[in-house]
Amino acid sequence: MLLTITNTQAPASDLGYLLHKNPARVQSFELSFGKAHVFYPEANDERCTVALLLDIDAVGLARNHQKPGGEGGMLAQYVNDRPYVASSFMSVAIAQIFRSAMAGRSPSHEQLADTALPLTARLSALPCRGGEMFLRHLFEPLGYIVNVAPHPLDEQFPDWGSSRYYTVELAANCRLRDLLTHLYVLMPVLDDEKHYYVSQDEVEKLLGKGEGWLAAHPEREAITQRYLRHKPYLTQAALARLSEDDAPDPDLEDELHDKEEEQAEEGISLNQQRLGSVLAALKGSGAHRVLDLGCGEGRLLHLLLDDKSFSEIVGVDVSYHVLEKAKQRLRLDHLPARQQERIKLLQGSLTYRDDRLKGYDAAAIVEVIEHLDPPRLTAFARVVFEFAHPATVVMTTPNAEYNVKWESLPAGRFRHRDHRFEWTRTEFQTWAQDAAARFGYAVRYLPIGPDDEAVGAPTQMAVFTLLS
Amino acid sequence: MKLTIPELSVVALIGASGSGKSTFARQHFKPTEVLSSDYCRGLVADDENDQTVSNEAFDVLHYIAAKRLALGRMVVVDATNVGTEGRKPLIELARKYHALTVAIVFDLPEKLCQERNQERPDRQFGPHVVRRHIQQLRRSLPNLKREGFRYVYVLKSVEEIAAVEVEKQPLWNNLKGEHGPFDIIGDVHGCFDELHALLLKLGYAITPQPDDAEFAYSVSHPDGRKAVFLGDLVDRGPNTPGVLRLLISMVAGGTGLCVAGNHESKLLRKLNGRDVQITHGLAESLAQLDAQPAEFKPQVAKWLDGLVSHYVLDDGKLVVAHAGLREEMHGRGSGAVREFAMYGETTGETDEFGLPVRYNWAAEYRGKAMVVYGHTPVPEPEWLNNTIDVDTGCVFGGKLTALRYPERELVSVPAAHTYYAPARPFLPEQEAAPVLTAQQQHDDLLDISDVIGKRYVGTRLHRNVLVREENAIAALEVISRFAVDPKWLIYLPPTMSPTETSSQPNLLEHPSEAFAYYRHQGIASVVCEEKHMGSRAVVIVCRDEAVARRRFGISEGFGVVYTRTGRPFFAPPLAVEFLTRVRTALDVANVWAEYNTDWLCLDCELMPWSAKAQDLLRHQYAAVGAAARVALHDAVAALQQASEHGLEVGELLTSYGERAGMVEQYIAAYRRYCWPVNSISDLKLAPFHLLASEGAVHSDKPHPWHMAQLARICAADPELLLATPYQLVDVTDQTSQEAGVTWWEELTARGGEGMVVKPHDFIGRGPKGLAQPAIKVRGREYLRLIYGPEYTTAENMERLHARRLGAKRSLALGEFALGIEGLERFVRHEPLRRVHECAFGVLALESEPVDPRL
């Protein structure tokens, strides 16, 4: 809520001319989300500090459903950090209240506006997703000396750790307009939230504001990605209402954890090898009509679609949201009609019997079982083997033994936070053997990824074949 | 001429254009019963006479006909129907939906039809058309019966048509007006002695009438009960004639109803002189009948011929048939229905004894009507999806069993002998270990079609509750990914509405409005319970693992603790430790004997809040506190600095100073509900509803009863269990209300969340039906956690006073009704899918968009 900028080049209070704000006055401005006050805590020849103090109307924002982004996100909450932190609200305030200064226009002091000054910006509470390192990576390449003070979440509960808020001082010799522009772009990037709907114009805005510095910035990709925050999706709000206090948004969390898992498994393009092996097993079985149970965003579906030997492909997932993403990724609505007929996506659950899954040649169940609570595996096995009853079932799951090979993965931790278990080869094979025997299948196993002599391969695959 | 038309039938009007079919249809049938091809032509192509769209028009006609028949409605097809190809689909539709078929033929002179058509400007299609119609009709006439029309009526003149009277006839199986009570008796197979004994045991008085040639017995029951026989009275056993004599008397005397079994059908064919194989005990019947007086056999044949294959009784709530009946066949009459009712369905395979393998139709049964059947001997009758097989193989040395309806009690007498050796042994060779019931085995897996899509869930308390498709989508994901085994999930707690907004400008909530609400509902006595600030927890505890297995069908564990969305509260080792503590307390409090149960379901609050809400606290509550504190501190400092060198910031400084103070109060507010949890002993469980135990949902007891029972249980482990303090308030008494308000003020002044006001009775009813089961009244400081640290400024208060409770209250009622309904269904041993749809429904409703702060 508070930004101060200090100039120490005499006569320091010329800062007022550059900002078009008189240091002797306290000015208030009405903004769409509340008020802003501009005043000078100090203004003399040696030092002049301007303060931009926001008074964000949190209650108004939460109550006004007209406002975009108001549903389900941070802004719907009355208990909200927005009124107190430097965020996109601050960017909007800068752009409105210091518009001329940011454009470098100062008819009376044109030269000063084009001159680098010894400026220090101070933000009381800047949320930094990515922590101090990321903050430094953003500002230091632009020539700032960065001074950071972290804040604990609650000193009475030290084990809760630190908050994501930092008091930040940025000092540099630069033009005022550059400082304002950098803050304008980078505050929301650090915060990783936008209070308004991100539309196509945002790209233009970013290109305009980033002119001259963004292209050469080493973090330009992260900046772009975060600046253009992804849109909310259809079921987000509904799911959020079902979320528990300890897991605010299951899908969003999953996305983050998927990335973690990918990072953990990095270096060997394990996912590609996995999908390749599954595809090979499916083709080898001679299947034409196939199920991808737990299809996620549809990476395997993509490979199946590209292969003419599969005449009917059904992707099933319990998350409606990822099915929508799969639909987009696969461009299902844009496929030629003949192709569209080959594939369909269903919301389904692998712990409920489902007649829609009956009568297929094969089912792929890739990295799915480890997301089920162990007591639910019995139901899962019946759904797949007894009721869906395909001739071939191709199943993969992590091999827990291999985890020691990854330095980035702390001992005892799973590869993905939603994993309910990770099995050793013996554990998986015992389970698979039992399921095969119970439901009349034969089973064989294949390693996927580099096969280590001691701990095996990172992924284990089982191929079940129905005994006639 | 009187035309008898079965109430569920496909009626084909057959006649040339101009023969008066439409006029006839209008006179004798409801407009909605008549499906006209011309009308359908109009529907698809705007022109009732456009013959080029006939295919499309008939598609529409057949589609509507199918929907009507599926719903059990008559269909009258007004088209020329003169060709075989036009009638064939109608016969097929009737067969598919087990409806009867009627042909009404308008065989009028060609001249008359031609004249009529000439009078109509829209029917100028030339005389050859009508001529062709009549030729086709005449050719069809002799074949209609063979095509499959059960009733054929031919009308040959205008006069005859004018004299027609249509009589709609209920089907023989329709005994919906018989309300019982009934005693439904399984396969007797000539076991007269056992039948006699069973009837006596059921309270029937049986008097022989040796002088009556036709009716050998007079049977009555003091309570007016009726015995319903499921067929297979004959064959195999020692005294088939005796059984038949008794039955003939009972049916004639109005104390018995009987449906036909496969053995009756075969015996009848034999008696009618057909050539049948003398197997499966038929020889015994024939020999016994031969020893009877000569006039008995024809009497038996006549009686058997009159037997119907199934009955629909008691307003459709009960269906009886020898071998059971699928839902879509209830109350229908076709060969397929009769076949199914008498023989059941087989898979086409044979078992190791050479007998056909029966297809278990009951596993797929979803109907509302209870279906009672026999045919397949079982050692013990078992409920499956509201169906039950009561053939306990008396003739094979088992027993003869009756199901008392509506009591659902089983009464049986053992067989005196093994009269006949079964082809397949049906009695267990030895006493087996306790296993899951047929229903539990079936319920091991739920079917997805029982939860997805839009559906209505009927509840006893609050009519049908609608679950919308998009909410079901969200619920399916959450249940599949995070919830405990659905077998545990017999209840999910409902949401709770706050009180109406306070009339006091500086308060959002105050007890006065809650008291007023119940007073307006006509409820005088309410209970105020302290509202604990933790996380809602449902706790189910069984006496031991064997109980969990037997009653819940769970293979591991003896209890469960789950959240309001059905997630397990603790990781397994901690859960066992926690549940063991609770169970020990229940043992000590001697609840098992007290409630005559071996399991309990409790609705509770588990504290501290921080035990469950760590992430929420860290990401939201503490985070906001940390940011606000730093920012406001700096803002105040900057304003002070400005003020010191003479700027006019006085007002801002005051306001930001106050805001800084509010943030401190806010931080203090959430800290109260947080404490470190290092072991079970740091947790507090406050049960407030003793929801259910074996055979009982305790929603029939008032809240003070729950409070007293739970206090007793809590006393058994005061370290873990917390009895909820409560107060009774009479909302028609000023002093009593003031005492309630004072209590609330004290609670909230100590930092409590507030209180919950409930009607004295668990289920309160007002003039418009169910009243809110509970209303929360939260304290001023607590509400900072809901409406933000600074909600108490005058400007914010004024705006926050505008809030709408309607949606929240309607959800609260729906979810409450669903919650109790699920428990009642569980206690009644209903199929899991029926219990599950309630919990699923609560979860789905919870995903409805309502203001989360209410």
Query: In this structure, are residues B328 and B98 in contact, taking their beta carbons and an 8 Å threshold?
Result: yes
Q: For residue range B42-92, list pLDDT tens digits in order.
A: 999 999 888 899 999 999 999 999 999 999 999 999 999 999 999 999 999
State the average pLDDT for chain B.
92
Mutate which of A29, A64, A245 to test chain B, going by most B C-beta atoms within 10 A?
Answer: A245
Interchain contact B366–A (C-beta under 8 A): no
Interchain contact A175–B (C-beta under 8 A): no
B719 to chain A nearest CA, in Å? 24
B596 to chain A nearest CA, in Å? 30
How many other C-beta atoms lie within 10 A of the C-beta of residue B554? 22
Q: Which residue of A has its CA nearest to B535?
A: A245
Give the pLDDT band of residue B442 (cuts 50, 70, 90).
confident
Sorted by sequence, the CB contacts under 8 Å of residue A279 that are 6+ apart come out as A300, A303, A304, A307
Q: Which of B17, B8, B19, B127 is nearest to B73 (CA)?
A: B8
pLDDT exceeds 50 at position B577: yes
Which helix (H) or strand (E) segment holds residue B638: the answer is helix B622-644
Q: Which chain A residues are Cβ-neighbours of B609 within 8 angstroms?
A: 245
The interface predicted TM-score (ipTM) is 0.81
The pair of three-digit structure tokens given for residue B54, joined into one six-digit string: 């006939």
What is the average per-residue pLDDT within A386-404? 95
Q: Which CATH number fits domain B2-169: 1.10.1740.10, 3.40.50.300, 3.40.50.12780, 2.60.40.1120?
A: 3.40.50.300
Q: Which residue of A has its CA nearest to B833?
A: A352
Considering only CB atoms, A238 lies closest to which of B470, B631, B790, namely B470
Rounded to the nearest 10 degrees, how much is the dihedral formed by the CA atoms of B318, B322, B325, B329?
-90
Angle at B289 between CA B286 and CA B292, to 5 degrees: 155
Which helix (H) or strand (E) segment holds residue B136: the answer is helix B127-140
d(CA B421, CA B399): 14
Q: Is B612–A244 a contact, with Cβ atoms under 8 angstroms apart?
A: yes
Q: Which chain A residues are Cβ-neighbours of B473 within 8 angstroms?
A: 235, 238, 320, 347
CA B54 to chain centroid? 42
Q: Is B473–A235 a contact, with Cβ atoms under 8 angstroms apart?
A: yes
Interface of B with A in 622-661 (CB under 8 A): 622-628, 630-635, 638-639, 641-642, 645, 647-649, 652
pLDDT exceeds 90 at position B676: no
* pTM (two decimals): 0.80
Interchain contact B481–A (C-beta under 8 A): yes
Identify the residue whose tokens are 């053995």.
B263
Q: Which residue of B has its CA nearest to A346?
A: B473
Interchain contact B613–A (C-beta under 8 A): yes
Q: Which chain B residues are Cβ-neighbours of A347 within 8 angstroms?
A: 452, 473, 476-477
Q: Is the peptide bond before B608 cis (omega within 30 degrees of 0)?
A: yes
d(CA B30, CA B78): 13
Whole-number Cα distances in Å, B361 to A350, B313, B407, B688:
24, 20, 24, 43
Interface of B with A in 658-687 (CB under 8 A): 667, 671, 674, 676
Query: In this structure, are residues B344 and B358 in contact, taking their beta carbons and an 8 Å threshold?
Result: yes
Q: Is A237–B849 a contact, with Cβ atoms under 8 angstroms apart?
A: yes
B468 to chain A nearest CA, in Å? 12
CATH classification code of B533-608+683-723: 3.30.470.30
SS3 of residue B129 by DSSP: helix
Q: For residue range B238-286, list pLDDT tens digits in order.
A: 999 999 999 999 999 999 999 999 999 999 999 999 999 988 899 999 9
Q: What is the pLDDT of residue B555?
A: 86
Considering only CB atoms, B613 lies closest to which of A124, A157, A245, namely A245
Q: Is B626–A387 a contact, with Cβ atoms under 8 angstroms apart?
A: no
pLDDT exceeds 50 at position A234: no
Q: Which of A150, A158, A155, A120 is nearest to A132 (CA)?
A: A150
Q: For residue range B712-763, list pLDDT tens digits in order.
A: 999 999 999 999 999 999 999 999 999 999 999 999 998 889 999 999 999 9
pLDDT exceeds 90 at position A246: no
Q: Which chain B residues are Cβ-neighbours of A324 within 8 angstroms?
A: none
Query: In this structure, are residues B316 and B176 in contact, taking their beta carbons and an 8 Å threshold?
Result: yes
CATH top-level class of A260-466: alpha beta
d(CA B807, CA B37): 47
State the average pLDDT for chain A.
87
Angle at B192 between CA B186 and CA B197, to 5 degrees: 80
pLDDT exceeds 80 at position B466: yes
Q: What is the pLDDT of residue B249?
A: 95
Q: Is A242–B478 a contact, with Cβ atoms under 8 angstroms apart?
A: yes
Query: What residue segments make up the domains of chain A, in order of their start?
Result: 2-227, 260-466
List strands edge to edge, sheet with A48-56: A27-31, A34-43, A48-56, A2-7, A117-127, A162-174, A145-152
Whole-number Cα distances in Å, B605 to B487, B493, B714, B752:
22, 11, 13, 14
A399 to chain B nearest CA, in Å? 22
Query: In this structure, are residues B665 and B784 in contact, taking their beta carbons and an 8 Å threshold?
Result: yes
Between strands A48-56 and A2-7, the pairing is antiparallel
Q: For residue range A363-394, list pLDDT tens digits in order.
A: 999 999 999 999 899 999 999 999 999 999 99
Query: In this structure, are residues B464 and B458 in contact, taking their beta carbons and an 8 Å threshold?
Result: yes
* Residue B86 DSSP one-character state: H
* Residue B711 DSSP one-character state: H
d(CA A380, CA A362): 16
Q: Which chain A residues are Cβ-neighbours of B649 within 8 angstroms?
A: 26, 39
d(CA B468, CA A59): 31
pLDDT exceeds 80 at position B436: no
Q: What is the pLDDT of residue B711?
A: 96
Q: For residue range A169-204, list pLDDT tens digits in order.
A: 999 999 999 999 999 999 988 887 766 666 667 777
Q: Is B787 exposed, middle or buried, given 0-12, 13-18 or 19+ CB atoms closer than 10 A?
A: buried
Q: For residue range B517-534, list pLDDT tens digits in order.
A: 999 999 999 999 999 999
Considering only CB atoms, A163 lies closest to which of B535, B627, B847, namely B627
pLDDT exceeds 80 at position B427: no
> What is the 3-class SS of chain A, one letter each residue?
CEEEEEECCCCHHHHHHHHCCCCCCCEEEEECCEEEEEEEEEECCCCEEEEEEEEECHHHHHHCCCCCCCCCCHHHCCCCCHHHCCCHHHHHHHHHHCHHHHHCCCCCCHHHHCCCEEEEEEEEEEECCCHHHHHHHHHHHHCCEEEEEEEECCCCCHHHCEEEEEEEEEEEEECHHHHHHHHHHHHHHHHCCCCCCCCCHHHHHHHHHCCCCCCCCCCHHHHHHHHCCCCCCCCHHHHHHHCECCECCHHHHHHHHHHHHHHHCCCCCHHHHHHHHHHHHHHHCCCCEEEEECCCCCHHHHHHHCCCCCCEEEEEECCHHHHHHHHHHCCHHHCCHHHHHHEEEEECCCCEECHHHCCCCEEEEECCHHHCCHHHHHHHHHHHHHHHCCCEEEEEEEEHHHHHHCCCCCCCCCCCCCCCCCECHHHHHHHHHHHHHHHCEEEEEEEECCCECCCECCEEEEEEEECC
pLDDT exceeds 80 at position B481: yes
Whole-number Cα distances in Å, B711 to A320, B201, B504:
45, 46, 35
What is the number of CB-based contacts under 8 A between chain A and chain B? 231
Interface of A with B in 363-382 (CB under 8 A): 371, 373, 375-376, 378-379, 382
Q: Is B473–A78 a contact, with Cβ atoms under 8 angstroms apart?
A: no
Q: For residue range B357-369, list pLDDT tens digits in order.
A: 788 899 889 899 9
Q: Which of A442, B189, A451, B421 is nearest to A462 (CA)?
A: A442
Q: What is the pLDDT of residue B389?
A: 95
d(CA B347, CA B301): 32
Q: Which fold has domain A2-227?
A: c-terminal autoproteolytic domain of nucleoporin nup98 (3.30.1610)
CATH top-level class of B174-427: alpha beta
A273 to chain B nearest CA, in Å? 27
Q: What is the pLDDT of residue A233?
A: 43
Whole-number Cα distances in Å, B613 to A106, B153, B535, B720, B781:
52, 76, 8, 19, 19
